[in-house]
């Protein structure tokens, strides 16, 4: 479901979607949002469960309070998938480690551009791999790990350009259709297993 249209001049809707745990580095996300909020207007939600590591969740909430950002940055808990991406303009991942995050695929399917740390398969999911994939264009911005200033700069850049958000959202949709549809994934797995069987 595409993002719901915003009122002119309304804050850009930013979402962190995931567990509030150390490996997701929510601390960097909060710091990045604080820096970006000095330049652009953002409405930020941290969407996901916070019970797994309650001490870390408390640290994150205390940081938001210390920065004086409780109105702009809210912990909203888990939500149904259908309710998440239709209410976002941007999705951000600041993880220390990932494989192939479903969050990126979900955001792309909804046409929502993603800012992600350079871990796991995130770069290839946002920038493509083969020439035809890269030709679709970037579907987000890759940043360093534990780099709040870099993440903030990406937030500001996308918040200031509706055209860039739209282009990246369209590229994400096209990339999901071209590379991550069920039929393509089945063909890829079949190819891998065929190669493994041939080696034996």
Position 63 scores a pLDDT of 98
Token pair belonging to 84: 């998440």
Cβ–Cβ under 8 Å, residues 60 and 85: no
Could you read off the pLDDT of 38-75 as tens digits, one per residue? Answer: 999 999 999 999 999 999 999 999 999 999 999 999 99
- The model's pTM is 0.87
Query: Does the pLDDT value for residue 183 go beyond 60?
Result: no
Partnered with residue 82 across adjacent β-strands are none
| Across 10-36, average pLDDT | 97
Query: Does the pLDDT value for residue 188 go beyond 80?
Result: no
From 2-11, 97-106, 161-170, 179-188, the region with the lowest mean pLDDT: 179-188
- Nearest Cα to Cα of residue 64 among 45, 89, 91: 45
Could you read off the pLDDT of 154-177 as tens digits, one per residue? Answer: 999 999 999 999 999 999 999 999
User: With respect to CATH, is domain 12-199 assigned 3.40.50.2000?
Assistant: yes
Could you read off the pLDDT of 101-134 as tens digits, one per residue? Answer: 999 999 999 999 999 999 999 999 999 988 999 9
Which uninterrupted H or E stretch holds 42? strand 42-47
Position 200 scores a pLDDT of 62
């Amino acid at each position: 479901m595409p993002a719901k249209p915003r009122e002119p001049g309304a804050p850009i809707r930013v979402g962190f979607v995931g567990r509030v745990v150390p490996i997701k580095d929510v601390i960097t996300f909060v710091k990045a949002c604080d820096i970006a909020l000095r330049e652009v207007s953002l409405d930020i939600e941290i969407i996901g469960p916070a019970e797994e590591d309650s001490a870390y969740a408390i640290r994150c909430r205390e940081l938001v309070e210390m920065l004086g950002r409780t109105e702009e940055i809210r912990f909203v808990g888990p939500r149904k998938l259908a309710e998440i991406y239709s209410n976002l303009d941007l999705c951000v991942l600041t993880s220390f480690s990932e494989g192939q995050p479903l969050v990126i695929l979900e955001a792309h399917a909804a046409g929502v551009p993603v800012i992600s740390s350079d871990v796991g398969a995130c770069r290839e999911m946002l920038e493509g791999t083969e020439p035809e994939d890269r030709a679709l264009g970037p579907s987000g911005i890759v940043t360093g790990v534990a780099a709040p200033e870099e993440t903030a700069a990406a937030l500001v850049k996308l918040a200031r350009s509706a055209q860039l958000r739209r282009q990246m959202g369209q590229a994400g949709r096209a990339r999901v259709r071209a590379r991550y549809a069920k039929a393509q994934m089945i063909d890829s797995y079949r190819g891998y297993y065929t190669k493994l069987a041939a080696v034996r």
